[in-house]
Amino acid sequence: MLPTDNIRAILVDDEDLARALLREYLASTAGIEIIAECSDGFSAVKTIGELQPDLVFLDVQMPKLSGFEVLELIGREIAVIFVTAHDSYAMKAFDAHAVDYLLKPFSKERFDLALDRARLRIRSATGAAPTPDPAALSAAARAPREFAQRIVVKDGAKVTIIPVDKLDYVEAQDDYIALHSQKRSYLKQQTISSLENILDPERFVRIHRSCIVNLERVAKIEPYTKDSRLAMLNDGTQLPVSRSGYARLTDLLESR
Amino acid sequence: MHPLFASARRLGLYILVWQLPTALTSYLLFVAARITPWEALALCAPLCFPYAIVCLTPWYISRVIPLRRGSALKVIVQHLLASAVAAFFWTRLAYFLARLLNGWHRGFFDRVSPHLPFFFGVGMLLYLLAVALHYTYLEIVAARESARLEHEARVLARDAELRALKAQINPHFLFNCLNSISALTSIDPAQARDMCIRLSGFLRNTLRLGEKTTIPFSDEIDLVRTYFDVEQVRFGSRLRVEQNIEPACGRCGVPPLLLQPLVENAVKHGVASLAGGGFIRIRAWLINDLLRVVVENEFDPENPEPRRGGLGLANVRNRIRTRHGNRGHMNVTVAGTLHRVELLLPCETVPEAHAAH
């Protein structure tokens, strides 16, 4: 990982020809070696986790996991260049954060420019330049009124996909959130607020500073102390409800 | 301007209809006042003629206070008042005429005058009847107008939809193709050229067929083939296409680019979602006069739900509905990893055009 070494790159694209083009462009570039190629999101997350590359060329639409989801699951010290045919909303969000994005088809000159930016990022990364939280970045890339259908979680090399219907509740634990689904819990490095932003507010309520609940799981709400209440879920779990959380909950239930 | 004055025929008919109340009032007066029929007619005919014109005035009032807006009470009170005023003056006119006729036949006024107040009641009834008829007429006109507008809107919507469909060459598909060509130029120039030719063929066919309202099913299938030719270069062995088209289907007329969104979805949400690729199977056959088309593809149910896929399908469904009404159907089923769209269309034969190349 020393800046004087070769930059170790991984290519992720489900189309053979698209990878072939990246390979060809990189062949005439000194100082970069391709250490792996992946053709779907799952294997990308696994390979990136194992090999810890400096740079990833990432397609957006891929089998199993999208490029955004891959971005969410890999460490933030890895530089990412998006390579996609889609110039829609995502691009604006990444303009500021991702190292670069390349719109297919792209020229060698444009490609070299992206590489220059990546080199800069990788060199300054040793000086701990602030990089955006990947989860927040992924949330920003979502169009307004379009909510997450599923949440991806990585545990070691294993990637779990939790459809939001199966998500019971979420608790904040320091820098992590614990996602509870079907009697199991999954830890993910993300803030509860950024998760709240991507969940459908008609179905998920922030009932407490540290808690989001799936409305369909709430069985009843009982008084607890003067200012707080307890939400009982269908499976018997008890969750704290703050005063403002209770207001949000009743607003939502009345508007239904 | 009252619509009755628009044509002499209508006005003549209206005057003819008024002979009925004239005859009726004359008869009643003849029976009640014991005067001769001629005397009764002499009073009633000049009386009814101006009233026929008075009974056209609700046209203006009913347009100022339409039935749908405004309260029912207000409408009723206004027209009752108007009818009372009209009937009052009509009765006064009856008295006046009876006095005039008294100079012709002595004692006429004395015989008739006790019965004249009944003109007030009859006058109100006639006037209110006219009001009712006017409102009925206005409603019929409004209903016709709204039906016409609805029809116009439907035609406009269909035009707009067709234009949108023609412009529906998916830009991401194009950019990905161009990227493939860009990759091939150095790896395999001959194949790059081949890809250019395939892509041009597909684009040309799309533009050519999109302009028509009906094309033979064989042309649509040819278009789908050229599309798969292009996608085959992008996806290689990941894309496996099976086609089973009964030759007799080729002559059925179908709207252009009806299958195109279905096969594009099958590639985008099917083959492209599977790391190892998958198959797309297209079958078409005739059952009596019905064309049955089935497009099936494998897909990964774990993949995020398609964001736009629903729009393409809804478009196809709408087009079938506007064209065939209840005689055409589209059915979408998902079983395990198999996505299946089934179309059932009445087959109206058209001459098979030359093959699209």
Test mutation, B169, B173, B174, B176, chain A, max A CBs within 10 A: B176
Beta bridge partners of A231: A221, A239
Instruction: Please name the residue that has the structure tokens 């006042």.
Output: B33
Q: What's the gap in Å between the CA of A213 and the closest CA on chain B?
A: 22
Q: Does A85 touch chain B (CB under 8 A)?
A: yes
Over the Cα atoms of chain B, what is R_g? Answer: 38
**Are A149 and B304 inside 8 Å of each other by CB?**
yes
pLDDT at position B113 is 82
State the smallest CA–CA distance between residue B337 and chain A in angstroms. 14
In angstroms, the CA B33 to CA B23 distance is 15
Run means of pLDDT, 10 residues per run, chain B, 357 residues: 83 89 88 83 86 86 75 85 91 88 81 84 90 88 87 73 63 90 94 93 87 89 94 93 94 90 90 90 93 94 62 81 85 91 91 57
Q: SS3 breakdown of chain A: % helix, strand, coil, rounded to 5?
A: 35, 30, 35
Measured between alpha carbons, how far is B172 from A14 in angstroms, rounded to an integer?
15
What are the pLDDT tens digits along chain A (256 aa)? Answer: 444 578 999 999 999 999 999 999 999 888 999 999 999 999 999 999 899 999 999 998 888 888 888 888 886 778 889 898 887 655 544 644 678 888 899 999 999 999 998 998 888 765 444 555 566 666 655 655 678 888 889 887 788 889 899 999 999 988 889 999 998 999 998 889 888 988 999 899 999 999 999 999 999 888 888 888 999 999 989 999 999 999 998 888 887 7
In sequence order, the 6+-apart residues with CB closer than 8 A to the CB of B130 are: B55, B56, B58
Which among B182, B233, B273 has the least Cβ separation from residue A63? B273
- Pick from B277, B271, B245: nearest CA to B259: B245
- For B286, other C-beta atoms within 10 Å of its C-beta total 16
Decide: B299 and B270 in contact? Cβ < 8 Å.
yes
Q: CB distance from B354 to chain A under 8 Å? A: no
Rg of chain A in Å (alpha carbons): 21
> Cα B236 to the chain's mean position, in Å?
46
The pair phi, psi for residue B155, each rounded to 5°, is -60, -45
Residue A80 contacts residue A45 (beta carbons within 8 Å): no
The three-state (H, E, C) secondary structure of B86-134, written as one string? HHHHHHHHHHHHHHHHHCCCCCHHHHHHHHCCHHHHHHHHHHHHHHHHH
Q: Give yes or no for a contact between B292 and B284, defined as CB atoms under 8 angstroms apart.
A: yes
Instruction: Decide if B347 contacts B287 (C-beta within 8 A).
Output: no
Report the gap between the CA of B320 and the closest CA in chain A (Å).
29
Query: Is B179's CB within 8 Å of A20's CB?
Result: no
pTM: 0.64
